[in-house]
Structure 1
């Protein structure tokens, strides 16, 4: 993958406008979003160096995680401390740590990276709807994205599949499963790690790895 392909992907994400009940935290009309655009580009660059072949597609970013950091399934604590097993994240790797004052860290991010380290498995992470969907008038809330919203953003995970020459895709949670199915993809499905799903999520990935379905 060439850097200009990553840049083009980030630019397209940043140029796509959100509706009133979603936030595009990469929006290129807001200078403060440059931190998140830089972090996403750096994340994809680091992945390109490691050549992952599996894409995990989640539901949508939460306001305590990716909406702050710009990196899928990653909160500021993980971004700052890094993931030594994979030599990912941290300021020494070119990431910037956004200000998250007054916002508790996203717990799903901790579960996700703990599971990936335990399994020694580094996939590409993304979401069916990669903007932050929130309740009307309440940006510090999360809501389930609609099927129409997810369909509108299907180009993003398809682009990542092409950029990384992805060989296997896993749906993380029911929203992702339904989105991929509507797009004509029949893929394995694992429990979302949020809301007590840690054990089933980890076990689901473990079984897929053992069976050679993903790698």
Structure 2
């Protein structure tokens, strides 16, 4: 498996009411080269992950319309693209949309922890695309069991290829899913829907980070 082969495999999947950022172009927000930019983003990210020896995945549920739908990167919004280049040396990330870079609340919480860990993880999702409500592409919904079946093999290939030893599951859906891969799985509450405090406490305990450090606004001012 190579980054190029993996991205090509992702780009071939087509599902109803699912935006595939590696194949689909948003007629409202995307630049003309958005699809190739997002493919390049993911290829560079995977290459960097291999080079630095990533052995842990932080796994969310799926891409959101303000974050990964636009960047092609899990748990990462456009606001953090330049910072991502510094955390994953050798990569070079490009904004694929027109207008100012958008920020996403979940991504801000994720990155407040990511800045504080020594060896960064691979950020990934159970379902690596953006599922949305029919007729409304700028909404978020949970993937279906049928949709998830389409990516099982690719997720397993990714975990084996990177020799992942631990999955930090961000939310219950990720925890339920990750247990099938035969690696250590740690459950952390998702920061959305009132879970910010539990998310920060869980990550603080897991990585031995002082809780007062895990504040996105505080860290951004120090960065």
TM range (shorter): 0.7 to 0.9
State the shift of 1:111 in Å: 1.1
State the shift of 1:151 in Å: 3.1
Q: Secondary structure of 2:124's partner? A: strand
Partner of 1:147: 145
Distance in 2 (CA, whole Å) between partners of 1:144 and 1:31 is: 28
Distance in 1 (CA, whole Å) between partners of 2:18 and 2:24 is: 15
Distance in 1 (CA, whole Å) between partners of 2:74 and 2:44 is: 12
Partner of 2:56: 54
Partner of 1:9: 6
Deviations 1:61-118 (A, max 9, x none): 0011111011111111111x314762559xxx42211225388422211111111213
Distance in 2 (CA, whole Å) between partners of 1:8 and 1:67 is: 21
State the shift of 1:182 in Å: 5.9
Asked whether the equivalents of residues 133 and 144 of structure 1 are also in contact (C-alpha less than 8 Å), the reply is yes
Partner of 1:27: 23
Partner of 2:77: 75
Q: How does 1:35-114 map to 2 (within 5 A)?
A: 35-79=37-81, 81-83=82-84, 86=87, 93-101=91-99, 104-114=102-112
Q: Secondary structure of 1:82's partner? A: helix
Partner of 2:218: none
Asked whether the equivalents of residues 23 and 131 of structure 1 are also in contact (C-alpha less than 8 Å), the reply is yes
State the TM-score, normalized to the length of structure 2: 0.79
Q: Secondary structure of 1:122's partner? A: coil
Distance in 2 (CA, whole Å) between partners of 1:7 and 1:16 is: 15
Distance in 2 (CA, whole Å) between partners of 1:124 and 1:10 is: 15
List runs of 5+ in structure 1 lacking aligned partners: 211-215
Q: Secondary structure of 2:169's partner? A: strand
List runs of 5+ in structure 2 lacking aligned partners: 26-31, 209-223
Of stretches 21-30 and 128-137 in structure 1, the one that deviates more from structure 2 is 21-30
State the TM-score, normalized to the length of structure 1: 0.82
Q: Secondary structure of 1:128's partner? A: strand
Aligned pair in 2 of structure 1 residues 178, 151: CA closer, same or farther (>3 Å)?
Answer: farther
Which of 125, 130, 133 aligns to 2:131? It is 133
Over aligned residue pairs, what C-alpha RMSD do you find? Answer: 2.7
Deviations 1:120-153 (A, max 9, x none): 4511111111110101100001011123322331
Aligned residues: 202
Distance in 1 (CA, whole Å) between partners of 2:50 and 2:123 is: 13
Asked whether the equivalents of residues 52 and 164 of structure 1 are also in contact (C-alpha less than 8 Å), the reply is yes
